[in-house]
């Protein structure tokens, strides 16, 4: 299984790929539509602002590919800004339309004591997801962001608190989001990526190929 | 709740880590990636590398360590030393660093802070300040603490944050290398002054120094020699903070 990391010109993908490698997961960074189409596991990274990121996805004609991927029931993992793009709308510098795979709005962290929310913060679990296998309660992961997803609690796997309750890991069927950087979150982040990989392998063995 | 960060600091000269030069008998060097991995495994929350390579040509070669570190470790890290343009910042970030630290270059050209923050985000731009007490005020020093300026530390930090600096490393020259504790008075003053995190630097020699700086308001506690020479372990610092009710990431 090769995890396909979508390169749309946003963020440092080498670090993310190293994170996958340390977790024992094979990955490829690509802009090639034919590879993206064939992907079982698609990873949507991202740092920076919402609108330029959506614009880049649009310019590269990646939005229909992402929609087809999710519609086919294949796993999509959004990381940091990549998670925020999964939602319907963002209020970052205006109102902007997102990919709409998850219900909710991305809003500014107005109640946070310090912005950006930057550093190690601890997780509170909301479900018994396979993504949390081997992760201790109150484990710390590394966040860097100023906006957060205001969404239905049904999708919450884990949250953290920084002025507001912030969804940290979300999952709705085949769509998963991580607000923090698993590749920068020491052993906890590595275990979370391993869990994601294992979950995909199970998906793969049930749903077959590509 | 955000954890207080323990940050070992490493000086890099021509691509190699040089350990505490104030101890003349110890001149051993290490590979940045190897030492970074050790600190990361021991529970460091973040690392800071200062490239002290003298010439800019040699520094370009020296900076090859950044991508090696990025491949090895799974915690964030910051790189400083000789970064004087947005292009320099871009290069270091592209190699996998999470943050850039600027000091002298920002004093000489404050717009560099703004340009960097606009292009890469404030979270990437760390302002490192060398402060020295002169009478009843603190003055900013540049060039590795060798050159005095007429800038007041408080005014400079306020200006830098307004320009977009996302974090302040506050290094006090008087306490640096003395192992007698951080300047908690200045830490308290600056943390109350600006909304961005303040990292205490210079003077950590005993475990209680870390606790005092955290209580004074520092979000991060930076130290070099006590970690290099293994007089204090990162884990012991964290346990001491934890016992005082200060949130820390106890399990590496």
**pLDDT tens column, B106-120:** 999 999 999 999 888
- The pairing of strands A2-6 and A26-30 is parallel
Average pLDDT, rounded, for chain B: 92
Interchain pair B96, A144: CB under 8 A: no
Average pLDDT over residues B166-182: 93
Residues A68-106: b if buried by 16+ CB within 10 A, e if exposed: ebbeeebbbbbbbbbbbbbbebbebeeebebbebbebbb
Percent of chain A surpassing pLDDT 70: 97
Quote the CA–CA distance of B138 and B95 in Å, as a whole number.
Answer: 35
- The pairing of strands B147-152 and B167-172 is unpaired
Q: Where are the domains of chain B?
A: 5-243
Given a cut of 70, whether residue B158 has pLDDT beyond it is: yes
Position B25 scores a pLDDT of 45
Position B60 scores a pLDDT of 77
Q: State pTM to two decimals.
A: 0.92
Question: Which of A12, A18, A187 faces B71 most closely, judged by CB atoms?
Answer: A18
Given a cut of 80, whether residue A209 has pLDDT beyond it is: no
The predicted-structure confidence for A114-153, as pLDDT tens digits, reads as follows: 888 999 999 999 999 999 999 999 999 999 999 999 999 9
DSSP tag of B124: G
Quote the CA–CA distance of B129 and B123 in Å, as a whole number.
Answer: 17
Distance (Å) of CA A2 to CA A63, A130, B148, B216:
21, 20, 55, 48
What chain B residue is nearest to A119 in terms of C-alpha separation? B2
What is the pLDDT confidence band of residue B181, given thresholds at 50, 70 and 90? very high
**In this structure, what CATH number is given to the domain that contains residue A184?**
3.40.50.880
Given a cut of 90, whether residue A112 has pLDDT beyond it is: no
Catalytic one among B51, B130, B176, B183? B130
Question: Total domain count for chain A?
Answer: 1
Are B237 and B5 in contact by the 8 Å Cβ rule? The answer is: no
Tokens 């991305």 correspond to A106
Average pLDDT over residues B84-90: 93
Chains A and B: how many Cβ contacts under 8 Å? 78
Quote the CA–CA distance of B101 and B50 in Å, as a whole number.
Answer: 8
Given a cut of 70, whether residue A173 has pLDDT beyond it is: yes
The domain in which residue A8 lies consists of 2-207
What is the pLDDT confidence band of residue A108, given thresholds at 50, 70 and 90? very high
Interchain pair A14, B70: CB under 8 A: yes
User: Which one is predicted more confidently, B159 or A115?
Assistant: B159
What are the chain B neighbours of A139 within 8 Å (beta carbons)? 251
What is the pLDDT confidence band of residue B62, given thresholds at 50, 70 and 90? confident
Least confident interval from A60-64, A70-74, B71-75, B174-178: B174-178
Position B111 scores a pLDDT of 98
The predicted-structure confidence for A180-203, as pLDDT tens digits, reads as follows: 999 999 999 999 999 999 998 887
The predicted-structure confidence for A35-66, as pLDDT tens digits, reads as follows: 999 999 999 998 888 999 999 999 999 999 99
Question: Which of A117, A119, A183 faces B3 most closely, judged by CB atoms?
Answer: A119
Whether A80 sits among the annotated catalytic residues: the reply is yes
User: Which one is predicted more confidently, B54 or B197?
Assistant: B197
Position B5 scores a pLDDT of 98
Chain A within 8 Å of B238 (Cβ-Cβ)?
Answer: no
What is the pLDDT confidence band of residue B20, given thresholds at 50, 70 and 90? low
What are the chain A neighbours of B93 within 8 Å (beta carbons)? 12
Position B110 scores a pLDDT of 98
Position B27 scores a pLDDT of 58
CATH fold, domain B5-243, is: TIM Barrel (3.20.20)
Q: Which of A53, A65, A75 is nearest to A147 (CA)?
A: A53
Q: CA triplet B176, B182, B187: central angle to 5 degrees? A: 120
Interchain pair A47, B121: CB under 8 A: yes
Are B219 and B2 in contact by the 8 Å Cβ rule? The answer is: yes
Residues A11-31: b if buried by 16+ CB within 10 A, e if exposed: bbbbbbbbbbebbebebebbe
Catalytic one among A96, A117, A183, A190? A183
Given a cut of 60, whether residue B24 has pLDDT beyond it is: no
């Amino acid at each position: 299984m090769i995890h396909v990391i979508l390169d749309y010109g946003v963020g440092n993908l080498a670090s993310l790929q190293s994170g996958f490698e340390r977790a024992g997961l094979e990955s490829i960074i690509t802009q090639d539509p034919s590879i993206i189409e064939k992907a079982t596991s698609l990873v949507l990274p991202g740092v920076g602002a919402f609108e330029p990121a959506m614009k880049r996805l649009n310019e590269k004609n990646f939005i229909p590919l992402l929609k087809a991927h999710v519609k086919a029931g294949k796993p999509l993992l959004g990381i940091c800004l990549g998670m925020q793009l999964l939602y319907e709308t963002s209020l970052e510098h205006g109102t902007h339309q997102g990919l709409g795979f998850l219900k909710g709005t991305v809003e500014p962290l107005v109640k946070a004591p310090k912005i950006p929310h930057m550093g190690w913060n601890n997780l509170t679990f909301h479900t018994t997801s396979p993504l949390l296998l081997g992760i201790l309660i109150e484990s710390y992961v590394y966040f860097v962001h100023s906006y957060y997803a205001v969404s239905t609690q049904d999708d919450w796997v884990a949250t953290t608190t920084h002025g507001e309750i912030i969804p940290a890991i979300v999952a709705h069927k085949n769509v998963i989001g991580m607000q923090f950087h698993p590749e920068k979150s020491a052993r906890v982040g590595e275990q979370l990526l391993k869990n994601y990989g294992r979950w995909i392998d199970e998906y793969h063995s049930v749903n077959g190929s590509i | 709740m955000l954890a207080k960060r323990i940050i070992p600091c490493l000086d890099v000269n021509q691509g190699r880590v040089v350990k505490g030069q104030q101890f003349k008998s110890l001149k051993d060097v290490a590979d940045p990636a190897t030492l970074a991995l050790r600190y990361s495994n021991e529970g460091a929350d973040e690392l800071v590398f200062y490239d002290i390579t003298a010439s800019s040509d040699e520094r370009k070669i020296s900076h090859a360590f950044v991508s090696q570190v990025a491949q090895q470790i799974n915690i964030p890290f910051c790189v400083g030393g000789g970064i004087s343009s947005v292009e320099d910042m871009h290069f270091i970030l592209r190699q996998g660093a999470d943050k850039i630290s600027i000091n002298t270059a920002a004093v000489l050209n404050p717009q560099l802070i703004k340009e960097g923050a606009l292009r890469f985000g404030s979270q990437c731009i760390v302002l490192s300040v060398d402060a020295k007490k002169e009478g009843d005020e603190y003055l900013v020093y540049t060039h590795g603490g060798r050159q005095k300026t007429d800038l007041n530390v408080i005014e400079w930090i306020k200006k830098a944050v307004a320009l977009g600096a996302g974090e302040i490393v506050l290094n006090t020259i008087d306490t640096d290398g003395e192992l007698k504790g951080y300047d908690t008075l200045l830490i308290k003053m600056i943390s109350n002054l600006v909304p961005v995190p303040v990292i205490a630097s210079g003077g950590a020699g005993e475990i209680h120094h870390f606790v005092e700086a955290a209580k004074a308001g520092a979000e991060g506690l930076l130290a070099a020699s006590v970690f290099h020479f293994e007089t204090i372990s990162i884990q012991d610092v964290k346990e001491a903070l934890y016992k005082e009710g200060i949130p820390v990431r106890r399990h590496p």
